[in-house]
Amino acid sequence: MDGQPEIVTKLSLWLQQAGDIAMGWLLSPAAWSQFALLVGAFIAARMITRRLQPALAPYLTPPEGKAGLTVTARLYLRRGLPLLLPLLAYAFTAMGEEVTRSLFGSGAVIAFGKRIFLFLAARIFVNEVLTDPFLRLLGRYVLIPIAAIYALGILTEITTRLEETIISLGNIRFSVMALIRGLIAGSLLFWLGSWSNRQSADYIKKQEELRPATRELAVKAAEVMIFGAAFLLLMSIMGIDLTAVAVLGGALGVGIGLGLQQIAANFVSGIILLVEGQTTVGDYVELDGGEKGTIIKMTARACVLETFDGRWIVVPNEHFITTRVVNYSDQGSANRYEAAFSVSYDTDINTIPDIIEEAVGRLPFVLKSPDGPDCELRGFGESSVDFAVEYWVNGIDDGKNRFGSPVLFAIWNALKEHDIEMPFPQRVVHLKQDPAPPAKPRRSKAEA
């Protein structure tokens, strides 16, 4: 074995030790009794599982159409029924281990069997119980290999070797085991944080008694607290001194002061918007820059507006603080619009307001409160008398709800019904010609 790599030498020693252990088990009566106990424990667990699974399944199946935390817990328990077999076998083996050790003074086979049952439970848990793709990936490449190494009885030796392997990055020194532990713990913590954030956001958004702005603020606050706690816990697990985090926070503050002013301004502006609640999700707004639409999302950096034609406009939060914003939805859902029209000078204009107000008032979307349709005389044009009718509707005339076109149709039909002319510009053109110049007298030949 001279000249062989160290890992090959150690693998050969492990295989030799495994062979010696297996040969000792085959020749030992105590080992045979432990094998018999393992087989008996497995058979007993299988028989009990066959009876328990059909009996427990109806109790763990929630009624259709139900939702809630209890329903979710029952579904997870029902999905975990396949774990009954290896866990029962592990429990029965653990009870028999004490008897075997008291009789024979040895329990190596029993301990190996217990680890095998745990390995089987880990495989079933990953393949049949877990449904989240990330958790299943983590279980397949982390949990199952660790369970296999543990079943072989070499987990302690491997972890010790990884603890002794040190990585140096400048003044920072950490072991490979600490790095692996940090990666696994970080993955689990931030997945748990993401799941908790989704659950808390769904719960907060269902609280209809809270204002929309208050709900959004609560969602953002919960998100910051959850991921902040996950980050600090990860630092503690990896053994990193939190004073280094304070130094990092100071450096980050300097960076914000020097080069990230706009990001910081937008973040603070977003918090102000959520606290004040003057603009929130669902409001129809118009900015000084001409952007207008319905706010469909508010993030820490910007608000997303959806226009009537389906386009999304991302507006930085700072614009809502430093510029003039018209919020059509702030005082309620009723809004006033007007439609202009003209009639001929031959019309009895005193009858126009009653005719138009009645025609527009019959439209189903026109409100009677806070005020009904109001037709007003606006002026005397060059070729027509100009009117406008004002009306209130419940909503925004943003393209999805076109109120102006039906109102104009109603005005047209009402005027035609009463034979009232809607004139168009006319011009009278007079053509003038210059008079013919006087004829010159003709001279005689003698004069010529």
Q: Are residues 401 and 307 in the same domain?
A: no
Q: What is the CATH number of the domain that holds 323?
A: 2.30.30.60
Q: Are residues 21 and 135 in the same domain?
A: yes
For residue 315, give the H/E element and its range.
Answer: strand 312-316
The torsion angles phi and psi of 207, rounded to 5 degrees, stand at -80, 90
Distance of alpha carbon 58 from its chain centroid, rounded?
34
In a domain, 313, yes or no: yes
Rounded CA separation 232/216 (Å) = 24
Q: Are residues 254 and 299 in the same domain?
A: no
Q: Are residues 71 and 135 in the same domain?
A: yes
Q: pLDDT tens for the chain, 448 residues: list them.
A: 455 555 556 656 655 565 555 555 554 555 666 777 778 888 888 888 888 878 877 777 777 766 666 777 777 778 878 888 888 888 888 777 666 666 655 666 777 778 888 888 888 888 888 888 888 888 888 888 888 888 877 788 888 888 887 777 666 677 778 788 888 888 888 888 787 777 777 777 777 766 666 677 677 777 778 777 777 777 777 666 666 556 666 666 666 565 567 777 777 887 777 777 777 787 888 888 788 888 888 877 888 898 877 888 888 888 888 888 888 775 556 888 899 999 999 899 999 999 999 999 999 989 988 888 999 999 998 889 999 999 999 877 766 567 888 999 999 999 999 999 888 776 777 777 766 666 666 665 555 5
- Peptide linkage before 133 cis (omega within 30 of 0): no
Q: Are residues 408 and 372 in the same domain?
A: yes
Residues in CB range of 380: below 8 A, 6 or more apart: 386
In a domain, 408, yes or no: yes
pLDDT at residue number 289: 79
Q: Are residues 158 and 12 in the same domain?
A: yes
Q: Which domain holds residue 318?
A: 279-327
In a domain, 448, yes or no: no
Indicate the residue among 164, 189, 221 that finishes a domain.
164
If one counts the domains in the chain, the total is 4
> Which among 323, 246, 328 is positioned nearest to 284, based on CA atoms?
328
Q: Are residues 15 and 160 in the same domain?
A: yes
DSSP 17: H
Rounded CA separation 380/424 (Å) = 14
Tokens of 153: 């009885």
DSSP 400: S
Residues in CB range of 147: below 8 A, 6 or more apart: 118, 119, 122, 123
Q: Rg of the chain's alpha carbons, rounded to an integer? A: 42
Q: Are residues 155 and 252 in the same domain?
A: no
DSSP 154: -
Tokens of 269: 């502006």
Question: Is the dihedral angle over the CA atoms 154, 155, 160, 164 positive or is it negative?
Answer: positive
Indicate the residue among 212, 241, 264 that finishes a domain.
264
Q: Are residues 134 and 250 in the same domain?
A: no
Q: Are residues 124 and 103 in the same domain?
A: yes
What is the residue type of 364? P
Question: Is the dihedral angle over the CA atoms 405, 411, 417, 423 positive or is it negative?
Answer: negative
> The tokens 């910081």 sit on which residue?
264
In a domain, 16, yes or no: yes
pLDDT at residue number 295: 87
For residue 375, give the H/E element and its range.
Answer: strand 374-380
pLDDT at residue number 390: 94
pLDDT at residue number 246: 63
Helices (H), 293-391: 317-322, 352-361
In a domain, 273, yes or no: no
In a domain, 371, yes or no: yes
Cβ-count burial 175-211 (b if 16+ within 10 Å, e if not): eebbeebbeebbbbbbeebeebbeebbeebeeeeeee
Q: Are residues 50 and 196 in the same domain?
A: no
In a domain, 122, yes or no: yes
pLDDT at residue number 258: 59
Distance of alpha carbon 8 from its chain centroid, rounded?
50
Q: What is the CATH number of the domain that holds 372?
A: 3.30.70.100
Global confidence as pTM = 0.51
Q: Are residues 226 and 198 in the same domain?
A: yes
In a domain, 427, yes or no: no
